[in-house]
Amino acid sequence: MKSKGIDRRWVGKTFDDFLFRPQRGAVQSRRQISLSAHLTDRLSLELPILSANMDSVTGMSMAEAMALEGGIGIIHRGLPIDRQAEKVARVKRAHGAVIENPLCLPKGSTIREARAFALRHKITGILIEESEGSGILAGLLSNRDIPWLGEYSERLVEEFMTPFEHLHTHPPGISYEDAERILFEKRIERLPLVDEQRKIHGLITRKDLLFFRDRPFASKDTKGRLLVGAAIGARGDFVERSAELISAGADCLVIDIAHGHSQVMGRALDTMRRHFPDMALICGNVATGAGARFLKEHGADAVKVGVGPGRGCRTRLETAAGVPQLQAIREAWCAVGESAPIIADGGVSDDKDIFLALICGASTVMLGSALSGTDEAPGQVIEDPATHLKKKIYRGMTSPQAVFESLYDTENPDDLEQAFETPAEGQEMQVPYKGSVADVLSRIRGHLQSAVSYAGERSLAKARAKILPDPMEYLIPLSEAARRESYER
Ligand code: XMP
């Protein structure tokens, strides 16, 4: 039998098959409970949640919101390379303790140009450089300095900026604490970082520092910028796409194909490792121990698990391929343990499913439909004229609609031919409008903290360490009656 060696108690099991046996509590308040988790060996998250790389789930706004709340968003790949890379770059620029390449205008620009520039980039202070591309700081034009009356439109920025001689600046390499002290003591909003030649090396703003102070959970890189991931495929332009995404600042790449335990994936992963030896690579999807081991042996830093549990998936209906999600997570963990963190992908319909995934083997959990319908998910809110109920569209990435839209800009006729040769394994649906994703994530954080407190531990890491060797000791299989008692409301 091909699934030899699997504990029979897990076979056919998924989230609604179990309850968790409550343990003696260990904390006064669940708010003290840490949910810190590994995404890969080197990347960790304070909220173990990823938003799915789907065109109805993760664009720029979702990725930004996910990182601000302690998770991470994976920008989908149904886009031309430059547009996907631009989204990554914009998330990296969205907030940062240090803005590394601050936007500049050269001396000689008009106030009209400065106004348009500030509006377009949503910035409240423009660094003025001596000449275009020189990177030599000439002055700072803050919103307060920009005259908004029409009669000033053709005047030059240097007439209104604070010139270099009157600016407070600092050499690069300053700590955040020192920067905050200077900003406070000098009562200034911005601190340009420049070397002895006045060359610009960065910009620190009071707003950014305060922003992060208010968000202790935010997922940040070593430079204080938000974490973001991006998806790639395993054929065609994936190496070129990866190079662009990496130079745009992506912190991890997700090689995402429907059948990750395959030659195509093996070859792609070997190629990626040759080109980008140090890049964090998450690979999937697989649903068996053998699949997880295969990805790890080819060099994956994390393994994405889930074949067919997703709400927009039709794979199981169309092909019969798949493994019930909790069984798949457990099989993968038994095969690779913590050596390649497991990302449970798909099938989460209630918050309890996330906790079950985490204590049965997953280090983090990817959500699609649970985060769709929010303001930050791409797409418009649709209001039903009869009921006035608000909805958004959620769709599988192989649904005909998503496939067609991703090929909208293609110039390669082979792409079109190949796409329409492959029957759809995804579908589109309407989901209720849910408001801000920050509220959804805050609810998930609270429920996870409560679940850890029922597990009698002070942190998710401790709960996993205690439970993972044998989750069945803590799980209660449900009868039909128990399932009705638990879930029917
Ligand atoms: P949930 O249940 O969170 O699932 O909505 C999200 C995951 O579903 C997968 N996905 C697909 N699977 N056909 C599939 O078989 C598709 O068209 C499709 N689109 C997305 C994907 O793994 C995602 O993260």
> Which whole-number Å values give the CA distances from 484 to 212, 286, 349, 385, in the listed order?
44, 31, 16, 35
pLDDT of the residue at 146: 87
306 CB near ligand 1 (under 6 Å): yes
As given in the structure block, the two tokens for residue 116 are 């348009």
Structure token pair of residue 119: 């509006």
How far does residue 311's CA lie from ligand 1's centre (Å)?
Answer: 6
Distance CA 237, CA 355 (A): 37
260 in contact with ligand 1, CB cutoff 6 A: no
Which DSSP state fits 141? E
Using a 6 Å cutoff on CB, does residue 396 contact ligand 1?
A: yes
Count Cβ atoms below 10 Å from residue 458 Cβ, excluding itself.
Answer: 14
398 CB less than 6 Å from ligand 1?
yes
Atom of ligand 1 nearest to the CA of 256: 22
Which 3 state secondary structure label does DSSP give 317?
helix
User: Which atom of ligand 1 is nearest to 285's Cα?
Assistant: 22
Q: What tokens were used for 454?
A: 């029922």
3 alpha carbon – ligand 1 mean position (Å): 24
Neighbours of 380 (CB within 10 A): 8
Atom 15 of ligand 1, residue of closest alpha carbon = 313
310 lines ligand 1 (CB under 6 A): yes
Closest C-alpha to ligand 1, atom 20:
396
Phi first, then psi: what are they for 45, rounded to 5°? -130, 150
C-alpha 317 to ligand 1 mean position (Å):
13
Which residue ranges of the chain lie beneath pLDDT 50?
1
The strand pairing partners of 128, in sequence order, are: 105, 139
**Residue type (1 letter), 247:** S
**82-136 per-position pLDDT tens digit:** 999 999 999 998 887 788 889 999 999 999 999 999 998 888 889 999 999 999 9
Q: Where are the alpha helices (DSSP H) in 44-199?
A: 60-68, 81-94, 111-121, 176-185
Distance (angstroms) between ligand 1 centre and the Cα of 166 equals 56
Q: Which atom of ligand 1 is nearest to the CA of 394?
A: 5
**Closest Cα to atom 24, ligand 1: which residue?**
52
pLDDT at position 211: 83
DSSP 260: -
Alpha carbon distances (Å) from 147 to 113, 139, 143, 194: 12, 16, 8, 27
Count of residues for the chain?
489
Q: Measured in angstroms, how far is the CA atom of residue 260 from the centroid of ligand 1?
A: 14
- The DSSP secondary-structure symbol of 8 reads G
Distance spanning both ends of the chain, measured CA to CA: 40
Report the separation in Å between the CA atom of 403 and the middle of ligand 1, taken as the mean of its atom positions. 13
Residue of 397, 404, 422 to test ligand 1 pocket, by largest number of atoms within 8 Å of CB: 397
370 close to ligand 1 (CB < 6 Angstrom)? yes
- How many angstroms separate the alpha carbon of residue 6 from the centre of ligand 1? 25
Residue 240 DSSP symbol: H
Domains and CATH numbers, the chain: 8-95+218-487 (3.20.20.70), 104-212 (3.10.580.10)
CB count in 10 Å sphere of residue 370: 28
| Lookup: tokens for 142 | 């803050």
Strand partners, 342: 303
Pocket lining: 285 vs ligand 1, CB cutoff 6 Å:
yes
- Tell which one of 54, 283, 405, 444 to mutate to probe ligand 1, the residue whose CB is within 8 A of the most ligand atoms: 54
260 φ/ψ angles, rounded to the nearest 5 degrees = -75, -20
Q: Is 371 in the pocket of ligand 1 (CB under 6 A)?
A: no
How many C-alpha atoms does 68 have within 13 Å on its Cβ side?
Answer: 21
Q: Is the CB of 397 under 6 A from ligand 1?
A: yes
Q: Is the CB of 369 under 6 A from ligand 1?
A: yes
Contact (Cβ atoms closer than 8 angstroms) between residue 305 and residue 287: yes
pLDDT tens across 380-427, in order?
Answer: 999 988 999 999 999 998 888 787 777 655 556 666 566 666 667 788
User: Between the CA of residue 16 and those of 313, 318, 325, 441, 489, what are the distances in Å?
Assistant: 19, 23, 11, 21, 15
The verdict on the CB of residue 426 being under 6 Å from ligand 1 is: yes
Positions annotated as catalytic residues are 313
| Helices vs. strands in the chain: H and E counts, helices first | 16, 21
How far does residue 405's CA lie from ligand 1's centre (Å)?
17
Q: Tell whether the torsion through CA atoms of 453, 456, 458 and 459 is positive or negative.
A: negative
Question: What SS3 class is residue 204?
Answer: strand
Count of alpha carbons within 13 angstroms of residue 151, beta-carbon side: 0
Please give the sequence-ordered ranges of beta strands (E in DSSP) within 293-426, or none if there are none: 302-305, 342-345, 364-367, 382-383, 390-395
Q: 356 C-alpha to center of ligand 1: Å?
A: 19
73 lines ligand 1 (CB under 6 A): no
Identify the pLDDT of residue 282. 98
Query: How far apart, in whole angstroms, are the C-alpha atoms of residue 271 and residue 267?
Result: 6
The predicted pLDDT at position 5 comes to 67
Residue whose Cα lies nearest atom 8 of ligand 1: it is: 310
Give the mutation target among 256, 313, 325, 351 for probing the ligand 1 site: most ligand atoms within 8 A of CB. 313
